[in-house]
Structure 1
């Protein structure tokens, strides 16, 4: 299997697909999701899930991003339905950080069908919290209107209100990493649990905000194994272990029986 570009999306299509996962990455790394999230997405693809990773460029207007992402994803969906004959496969959303917010906006603002959504390290901070030095930049902005417009739309409060009023997807998985100062899973869980208590699941996993972006570290020890080599091997093992646990959590939620059989076969 290999990645292919289709109408602005990156597709990873297994031979016997069981479902479609629409993936959206975090701010500033979402432009090349097939690269920045390569290991995670390919691991899911190798378990039978079609991956549709839609790139986007971060701006202040998150509603516009949601609309553009949905239009782009629909082009990939039409391609899959017409050429790969995947008309009846369920579609799941998978987001990381800001990608979670975009998925939530898509589902709250538009009529789309999703079998469920998976949110990793949900981030809904304001522009001032998310963008370093924004306050300093605004201090030098001569036009007051320009200063007030330098905030994400919808705002964090407006986003949660939209979800509370319009979000229809009943089955949701929320993943929080233990060492993550950017995570805002708790307020999202409170909103979703209020409406879908029985089908909203929260898992706390080892790792950091960047665990979904873990890459394969090719550490080759020298002829004489040194302390630096030991550190390198330890870091690689930590990244691999955390990513594997994340993969297991996603696969178990998507298909509990299949995930348990795969564990026994390892």
Structure 2
């Protein structure tokens, strides 16, 4: 694969071989600012399986709808700067999110219509009070927004009424204590003609996050072969599922 390149707020990675398609990735809180580092191994594993990767870099805020709109717009603008050659087959597009990143993809203004599916890892939809209680308390004292917009309940209502993509792969990890995929799959499957599925894999909430930086700083002894195997298995599951959508 080629090396990472920064295009505005999006980091890109290209496979060596003819691409299977494009993955647009949004990471979770505290990891999302540097996806090329925080999710390096996972995203490089996908690129190694033939996927182009566009990963959005952002700092989470309270207005999740505004951030979802910004991510969707920036992904679209970058795609438009890279036109498909005349005669080439249509490039298949998958959306991929981790934790808060799942929510931002689900709130995309196109309702998921302009992609071939969403893979949502460790979906998280907690309130601000649950997620960042200190900031929520300060917000109330200083009279600024102290709840996410839309709120957790409003988010699920919006997904039920406005999210139109039928193909969704929800991934829940067996030791993830803050995953809310069970509630999301119920909302998605309540829609007409839904084709969403829920997959449980070994791991925890940080399974998609990279250990490469820890290894670089501390040496080989700090690496975790078990986590690397789980990450590779996850990349393979997503690649196989995405290829089926592309067929």
TM-score normalized with structure 2 length: 0.88
- Identify if the C-alpha distance between structure 1 residues 72 and 241 changes in structure 2 by more than 3 Å, giving closer, same or farther: same
Which of 93, 99, 102 pairs up with 1:100? 102
Structure 1 stretch displaced more, 173-182 or 193-202: 193-202
Structure 1 CA distance for aligned equivalents of residues 147 and 87 of structure 2: 42
Instruction: Measure, in 2, the Cα distance between the counterparts of 1:136 and 1:118.
Output: 33
Tell whether 2:165 aligns with 1:169.
yes
Quick one: structure 1 residues 60 and 193, their matched pair in 2 at CA, closer, same or farther if it must change by over 3 Å? same
Moved over 4 A (4+): 82-87, 109-112
Higher relative contact order (CA 8 A, sep 6+): 2
Q: Which residue number in structure 1 is paired with residue 190 of structure 2?
A: 194
The Cα shift of 1:206 comes to 0.8
Corresponding residue number in structure 2 for 1:9: 10
Q: Distance in 2 between matches of 1:242 and 1:111?
A: 28
Residue correspondence of structure 1 range 212-251 to structure 2 within 5 A:
212-216=208-212, 218=215, 236-251=224-239
Which residue in 1 is equivalent to 2:124? 123
Residue aligning to 1:73: 75
Separation (CA, whole Å) in 1 of partners of 2:170 and 2:186: 11
SS of residue matched to 1:80: coil
Measure, in 2, the Cα distance between the counterparts of 1:165 and 1:256: 27
CA distance in 2, matches of 1:250, 1:56: 23
2:228 matches 1:254: no
Give the Cα separation in 2 of the matches to 1:54 and 1:84.
Answer: 28
Give the length in aligned residue pairs: 241
Change (3 A) 1:201 1:112: closer
What CA distance in whole angstroms lies between the structure 1 residues aligned with 2:87 and 2:67?
28
Q: Which runs of 5+ in 1 are unaligned?
A: 222-228, 259-266
**DSSP-derived class of the 2:24 partner:** strand
In the aligned structure 1, how far is the partner of 2:36 from the partner of 2:86?
20
Distance 1:85 1:158 in 2: 43
Give the direction of change, closer, same or farther, for the CA distance of 1:86–1:136 in structure 2 (3 Å limit): farther
| SS of residue matched to 2:78 | helix
Per the alignment, do residues 8 and 85 of structure 1 end up closer, same or farther by CA in structure 2, a change over 3 Å counting? Answer: farther
Q: 2:31 pairs with 29, 32, 57, which one?
A: 29
Find the partner of 2:152 among 151, 156, 160. 156
Alpha-carbon separation, structure 1, partners of 2:233 and 2:18: 24
Larger Rg: 1
**Cα separation, 1, equivalents of 2:87 and 2:28:** 30
How far, CA to CA, are the matches of 2:89 and 2:59 in structure 1?
Answer: 29
Q: Say what the alpha-carbon RMSD is for the aligned residues.
A: 2.6
Unaligned runs of 5+ in 2: none
Which of 50, 53, 60 in structure 1 is aligned with 2:52? 50
User: Structure 1 length as normaliser, TM-score?
Assistant: 0.82
